[in-house]
Amino acid sequence: MEHLKLSPIIAEEQIKKRIKEIAKDITKSSSGKTLVAVGVLKGSFLFYADLIREIGLDMICDFCGASSYGDDSKSSGEVHLTLDLQTSITGKDVLLIEDIVDTGLTMNFLKKHLATKNPASVTTASFLFKPSALKEECSIDHVGFEIENDFVVGYGLDYQGHFRQLPYVARVENMN
């Protein structure tokens, strides 16, 4: 991975500030309800952990997994569930937390999947959003940052399993 050139685009301090803003909005709009916070693994884990600690509400924590990526850096267009919830969400308010929405396929797939479990509501939060990469309409209730259609790593996002631990987001400059 030493051959990759990374250019930071979102600093750690910007991330912390934006998470506080999103958490405040979620706390206000949730009116004191208990939320089931669902993190989409693996990429959302840092955003998920930081966000739920800032939200001033009672929460049940769970995770799911879905992917439209293999080992490549481009979406395959076919989404599959890799891990389902362990918690019943029937009649509950769900906060679905994703690392990045680019094509919109994974977010829409997960919203449809969660709807089959009859939650009271599903609110969505995505750390990053690439509007120019959308392949289908996708609404997101809370967006951390809108970015260009570049390949990015850090703060949970990876390239072949590497770079998730970075406290900032960086564009990969020399993707082949």
> What pTM was estimated for this model as a whole?
0.93
Query: What local confidence, expressed as pLDDT, does residue 22 receive?
Result: 99
Catalytic residues: 102
Which tokens belong to 21?
């803003």
Residue 16 backbone class (left: φ over 0; alpha: ψ -120 to 50; beta: rest): alpha
pLDDT along the chain (176 residues), means of 10: 89 99 96 92 97 96 85 70 97 98 96 98 98 95 98 96 97 84
Q: What per-residue confidence (pLDDT) applies to 89?
A: 98
Q: Do residues 95 and 56 touch, judged by C-beta distance below 8 A?
A: no
Q: Phi and psi of 62, rounded to 5°?
A: -150, 170
All structural domains of the chain: 12-67+78-152 (3.40.50.2020)
Q: How far apart are CA 15 and CA 110, in angstroms?
A: 25
